[in-house]
Chain A
Amino acid sequence: MAENTTKASKGVFAATVTSNRQIGRRFYRLGLDLKGSAAEVFAGYKAGQFVQIDLSGTALPPQEAIAEELRDTSSRNIILRRPFSFADFTVKVGRISAEILYGVVGPSTVRMTTLRSGDTVSVIGPLGNGFWVPEGKKLAMLISGGIGTGPLLYLAKSLTNNYAGIEPIAFAGAKTKEDLPFEGKLDRIAQDLGFSVGEYARYGIRSQVATDDGSVGFAGLVTDCMAEWIRQNNPNPREMIIYSCGPLAMLERIAKVTTERNIDCQLSMEEMMACGIGVCQCCAVACKGANPNETIYKLCCKDGPVFDAKDLVINS
């Protein structure tokens, strides 16, 4: 057989768990090391891309350690992998260190909490298309809802390291203070200075938080907090871009606003995936076709997960 000279762009790899830190009532950060051929293939990983992790062989915690509302579903015998984006990613000599920010919401993430340093997990990746930076941008607004903050944290780092001409500013929203997936205390002084979230402040990026119940930061939706900031600061729409990840309702609101005002916007979408590599066709996302009224389905895993908001069919 002819030698296969094209280098694989993705693959199935073993990753080593380096840490698994609880950072809130239901949030964790999982550290992974990728070595050898995995490190080579992952070297080009872009913020917003993702990996599929096999947690089917990972142990459940003891019943009493599982939140009561998750006990029914967590006992389910899972078979499919789960998609996660990296919240941090560092290329080191001969290896890559990555971190996943995750929330405990179902049978896979309940199992994920039992991973310990030294464990091995199977990952497929890097998958999908990450965020990209169009020409002529000076301001990047990073808007996240709940656990959707994960990929935006690494995007913040990439923008800081690679785009000196772009000023990022971040907005993170959740129902309550407890639903914000951050390690720091969100103290008042930092908020007053405009650096609410330590995870963004470490890159010198200003941030604000919003909670539906007003338990911390702006009282209301993160999209209203964002709109308020735009009203006050009046940035040039052509020089700005909005990057967002979070619940569908939030993404739809953002898509509507940015399409109306002709602001560049990229959304990281989520849809149930089985394979993550484009063969199962489960993760259909409604997109605009060639004709104005035509809806086509693109695949979240292969055509996304990051989409240009203008290409999406948004429910109003």
Chain B
Amino acid sequence: MPDQELELTLLETLDHLLDRGVVIAGEATISIGNVDLLYLGLNIVLANMDAMKRTGRK
């Protein structure tokens, strides 16, 4: 698969799994000991992914 196609496929994959899917709300803490459920905020990841998408489409 050509590199550009691969990059778009990767971006589409990340777009689906980082920004969608069921969100299980929980305590957003990194102290694992007393917390049953962790969900990590991905705002930074998503912001970078948007930048990646814009770069990929130049």
A, B from the same assembly = no
Chain B interface residues toward A at CB < 8 A: none
Chain A interface residues toward B at CB < 8 A: none
